[in-house]
Amino acid sequence: MPSLRILGIDPGFDRMGFGVVDHVGSKMLCMGHGCIQTSPNDEFALRLQQLRDGLRQIISEHKPSCVAIEQLFFQTNAKTAIKVGMARGVIVLAAADAGLPIVDVTPAQVKLGLTGWGGSDKKQIQQMVQRVLSLQEIPKPDDAADALAMAIVGGSLFKHTKACASGQ
């Protein structure tokens, strides 16, 4: 059975988590994860460029089938929310430039998709990522673990969307 490679992204302008997961039948394999870190000493526009360039490199290296991106949720700090929104826009643009479909994944979908319970905490999600991907330990940093969770759940959503579109 052919595999489906999903690039999961946890958006941020300081640190953007990424995780690459192959969905092969009912099995999932971690193909890589990490973070693109920017410096708070750099101008914001340069930081956005660094995110874009890093993401382009990851896409070129891993050749994903689609990109699963966490939808933003309400934040109390409007300035931070706006900057994270701009970083998310750069991520969406980089995926579109590469011709990749995008799956928006909500935090609630991740919780339900991984644990079956919408009230799961971060630790439970990280433990399920470790278990589902048969990893020796919980991926670090947290942003990378969150991105892997996006790739796991995003792959299932993408397969479901494709099946619905084809009438299966």
As a whole number of angstroms, the longest Cα–Cα distance in the chain is 51
143 is catalytic: yes
User: Backbone phi, then psi, for 4, in 5-degree steps?
Assistant: -115, 120
Interatomic CA distance for residues 135 and 168, integer angstroms: 33
Give the separation between CA 30 and CA 22, rounded to whole angstroms: 7
- Active-site annotation holder among 10, 22, 104, 121: 10
Catalytic residue among 22, 70, 97, 137: 70
Which listed residue (14, 142, 143, 146) is catalytic?
A: 143
User: Quick one: tokens of 102?
Assistant: 């995008």
- Which run of H or E residues covers position 95? helix 78-97
Query: Which are the catalytic amino acids?
Result: 10, 70, 143
